Amino acid sequence: MVDLSQLNPRQHEAAKYIDGPLLVLAGAGSGKTSVITRKIAYLIDACGIKAHHIAAVTFTNKAAREMKERVNALVGKGGAKGLTVSTFHNLGLNIIRHELKTAGYKSGFSILDQDDCKNIIRDVMHREHGDDGDMIELVQNSISNLKNDLITPEHALQVAQSPQEMMIAQTYAVYQRMLKAYNAVDFDDLILVPTLLFRDHADVLARWQKKIRYLLVDEYQDTNTSQYELVKFLVGQRSGLTVVGDDDQSIYAWRGARPENLALLKKDFPTLKLIKLEQNYRSTGLILHAANHVIDNNPHEFEKKLWSDKGYGDPIRILKCRNDEAEAERVATEIIERRMRYGCSYRDFAVLYRGNHQSRAIEMKLQSFQVPYKLSGGQSFFGRNEIKDIMGYLRLLINPSDDAAFLRIINTPRREIGPTTIEKLSEYAAMRGTSLMSATTEMGLEQVLMPKAVDRLRRFGQWLEGITRNAYTDDPVAAIKELINDIDYEGWLLQNSGTPHQAERRMKNVWFLVDSVAKMIDKAEEVGDEVTIEDAVGKLVLRDMLEQQEQEDENDQVQLLTLHASKGLEYPHVYIIGMEEELMPHRNSIEANTIEEERRLMYVGITRAKRTLSLTYAAKRRQYGETASTTHSRFLDELPQKDVEWEGKTETSAEEQKQRGQETLNSLKGMLADF
């Protein structure tokens, strides 16, 4: 039987309360997620609700994985069988999969990533509005916001007021039609489609309400309108709902999150019970106090208190470094040193930063000191656009029915094959039950498309067939090189990269990929194996998947992640780097005057730390190829100054620090040499 004795009285009450909808509103580290996991165990063990009738949703895959592990530990794998613990998006995907037909999709539908969608939008805008690409970001974000607010294209067209809104609504309408024709959804559709499905099909809704008897939602403050609607539909008139959240940790307004959903709950569920938790079990007193102090600068709708009985702990350190490289070196050497001094593991350290690009310097240092690290959410080799493009071609070479690959590359580089052509081609291919690639060379196309379009498609199809033949009968690597030259990919990169230098770097990645294929074939030939291009590319695809899986592996590694990605997680020792104006708070937020959201992000960052917290900044930083002086972040001044230790704030101590850094480095080198 589940043991709730470790919970404090309020947590206990929250875990056992099943008479109506419940909101647990509480600050960081107060055990909100713990309440959810215990409650799931309680529902299964004590209330006899079958695990497959329970669904818990949270914000990131990492958080979902951790939650599942915690539940498994409480009720055993057998007891948790069939339990849904996932992100909102995964839950949505699951619903679409089950209701494919009603939702208007065919089996084998694909989920397009941000870049694929951007390409579609680029083409639609180019064709319909003669846009040369300047507005793409804006339009893509606007479409995403419309979807998150549950606004359909028809609705958007009706309410558009300015010419720009009209243009966005029109693009949205064509874009949505294209996705349907491709039998594809985008990320936002994963929530939008099920929600509309529930709205329009009572039988589908009834089925899902019957399946999910109890719904638990973590990080509720970051749900957007469509996610909230999804929750309301699933819960219906019943009482099976527990949501937990903290308005001070709302950090996704830019993705449509509506923290006011917390207040709306009371309106939509009049019998809502509210439980507040006040004891923080995560951090030392000083860390908690610092977090409360910073967030006090924001206005507050809900009154919350938070205390800890963990003692004061170490003071919070602010480390001024000469430049970004010195900052990375300082953090890396400290991690090595502290790990030995405290006898802890690499995984006990997390380095948090505002933007993904900030991880590079730290990665380089950790690599050079041979410290294992795990980068979450950064871009892997196979995640790069240029690699996805060329992999798209390679995938088509080995599998002409790979429609997703076809869609990725048909207009990369641009071939003036417009959205309508592709739409018609898709319809034709679906009717004939064939792939997009083989449809390009079919005779029947003339009946559905203009001669010019047929010609362009046919030329593309025949060209790629030729390359494919060469790849199979002749030298595969030569065929791939021919392909890359034929499409003038280098020229395309030059046009589509920020700087020539960037284009050059991206082209290098492409040649690295081609080299990998060549090496695989050479290696096999050395041992007398016959390796086809199919094997080689197949292996690369597999490596891509393995790389993704590896990222999920929890080894003993220093954790590198953005402040956004760190939500809900905790680490004994936390470094937040780049504490400078324009980095944290981010320049865009300063300009857009959304400092309060940045402050909440700061609060999230501080409250990840259990034992020690170190904040670093660089006096000079290299950005966009130039080195400039920086100003330290305003958030550092908002910390309770009596509890923090500024190191190297004055010039002389900066010198000392340099000296000290060098000494630490030397002694470390000595220590490492002894190993």
CB 124 within 8 A of CB 178: yes
The yes-or-no answer on residue 499 being catalytic is: no
Largest CA distance in the chain: 80
Q: Tell me how far, at minimum, the Cβ of 80 lies from Mg ion, in Å.
A: 19
CB 225 within 8 A of CB 258: yes
The yes-or-no answer on residue 32 being catalytic is: yes
- Those residues whose C-beta lies under 8 Å from the C-beta of residue 38, and which sit 6 or more positions away, are 2, 4, 7, 11, 15, 74
Q: Which is nearer to ligand ATP, 193 or 244 (CB)?
A: 244
Q: Tell me how far, at minimum, the Cβ of 106 lies from ligand ATP, in Å.
A: 39
Choose the one of Mg ion, ligand ATP, none that binds residue 7, judging by a C-beta under 5 to 8 angstroms depending on kind: ligand ATP
Q: Which is nearer to ligand ATP, 34 or 195 (CB)?
A: 34
Question: Can you state the percent helix, strand and coil of the chain, rounding each to 5?
Answer: 60, 15, 30
Catalytic position from the list 218, 246, 248, 598: 218
Given phi > 0 = left and psi -120 to 50 = alpha, else beta, which region is 106? beta
Choose the one of Mg ion, ligand ATP, none that binds residue 11, judging by a C-beta under 5 to 8 angstroms depending on kind: ligand ATP
Q: Tell me how far, at minimum, the Cβ of 643 lies from ligand ATP, in Å.
A: 20
Radius of gyration, alpha carbons of the chain = 27
The C-alpha atoms of residue 289 and residue 18 are separated, in whole angstroms, by 34
The yes-or-no answer on residue 440 being catalytic is: no
| The three-state (H, E, C) secondary structure of 6-44, written as one string | CCCHHHHHHHHCCCCCEEEEECCCCCHHHHHHHHHHHHH
The yes-or-no answer on residue 260 being catalytic is: no
The C-alpha atoms of residue 638 and residue 585 are separated, in whole angstroms, by 13
Q: Where on the chain is the footprint of ligand ATP (CB under 6 A)?
A: 6-8, 11, 26, 28-34, 246, 249, 281-282, 568, 570, 607
Catalytic position from the list 219, 246, 324, 598: 219
Q: Which is nearer to ligand ATP, 151 or 277 (CB)?
A: 277
The C-alpha atoms of residue 587 and residue 638 are separated, in whole angstroms, by 18
Q: Tell me how far, at minimum, the Cβ of 56 lies from ligand ATP, in Å.
A: 13
The yes-or-no answer on residue 249 being catalytic is: yes
Q: Which is nearer to ligand ATP, 226 or 249 (CB)?
A: 249
Choose the one of Mg ion, ligand ATP, none that binds residue 476, judging by a C-beta under 5 to 8 angstroms depending on kind: none
Q: Which residues are annotated as a binding site?
A: 26-33, 282
**Which residue in the shown chain puts its C-beta closest to Mg ion?**
33
CA-to-CA separations, 531 to 120, 372, 538, 540, 640, in angstroms, rounded:
36, 34, 11, 13, 65
Q: Which amino acid appears at position 242 of this protein? A: T
User: Interface with Mg ion by CB under 5 A: which range of 269-277, 374-382, 411-419, 564-572?
Assistant: 564-572
Q: Which is nearer to ligand ATP, 26 or 410 (CB)?
A: 26
Q: Tell me how far, at minimum, the Cβ of 453 lies from ligand ATP, in Å.
A: 53
Choose the one of ligand ATP, Mg ion, none that binds residue 492, judging by a C-beta under 5 to 8 angstroms depending on kind: none
Catalytic position from the list 322, 608, 610, 621: 608
Catalytic position from the list 249, 284, 333, 562: 249
Residue 382 tokens, joined: 């196979």
CB 604 within 8 A of CB 298: no
**Number of chain residues interacting with Mg ion (CB under 5 A):** 3
Specify the long-range contacts of residues 549-553, CB closer than 8 Å, at least 24 apart: 551/374, 551/375, 551/376, 551/380, 552/61, 552/62, 552/65, 553/374
The yes-or-no answer on residue 608 being catalytic is: yes
Choose the one of Mg ion, ligand ATP, none that binds residue 30, judging by a C-beta under 5 to 8 angstroms depending on kind: ligand ATP
- With H, G, I as helix, E, B as strand and everything else as coil, classify residue 527: coil
CB 22 within 8 A of CB 14: yes
CB 555 within 8 A of CB 591: no
Specify the long-range contacts of residues 356-361, CB closer than 8 Å, at least 24 apart: 356/562, 358/577, 358/578, 358/583, 359/560, 361/324, 361/325, 361/327, 361/328
Catalytic position from the list 32, 320, 384, 456: 32
CB 131 within 8 A of CB 171: no
The reply to whether omega before 372 is within 30° of 0 (cis) is no
Catalytic position from the list 33, 37, 559, 612: 33
Choose the one of Mg ion, ligand ATP, none that binds residue 31, judging by a C-beta under 5 to 8 angstroms depending on kind: ligand ATP
Chain residues 16-35 in contact with Mg ion, contact rule CB under 5 A: 32-33
Q: Tell me how far, at minimum, the Cβ of 64 lies from Mg ion, in Å.
A: 12
Choose the one of Mg ion, ligand ATP, none that binds residue 282, judging by a C-beta under 5 to 8 angstroms depending on kind: ligand ATP
Q: Tell me how far, at minimum, the Cβ of 148 lies from ligand ATP, in Å.
A: 22
Q: Which is nearer to ligand ATP, 31 or 194 (CB)?
A: 31
Q: Which is nearer to ligand ATP, 29 or 79 (CB)?
A: 29
Residue 13 tokens, joined: 């009450």
Q: Which is nearer to ligand ATP, 10 or 330 (CB)?
A: 10
- Alpha helices, H only, 160-238: 163-181, 189-200, 202-211, 225-235
Per CB under 5 A, the list member of 31, 153, 392, 568 interacting with Mg ion is: 568
- With H, G, I as helix, E, B as strand and everything else as coil, classify residue 280: coil
Q: Which residues are annotated as a binding site for ATP?
A: 26-33, 282
Choose the one of ligand ATP, Mg ion, none that binds residue 10, judging by a C-beta under 5 to 8 angstroms depending on kind: none
CB 127 within 8 A of CB 417: no
- Those residues whose C-beta lies under 8 Å from the C-beta of residue 666, and which sit 6 or more positions away, are none
Q: Tell me how far, at minimum, the Cβ of 86 lies from ligand ATP, in Å.
A: 17
Q: Which is nearer to ligand ATP, 252 or 428 (CB)?
A: 252
**List of residues contacting Mg ion (CB under 5 A):** 32-33, 568
Catalytic annotation, residues:
32-33, 218-219, 249, 608
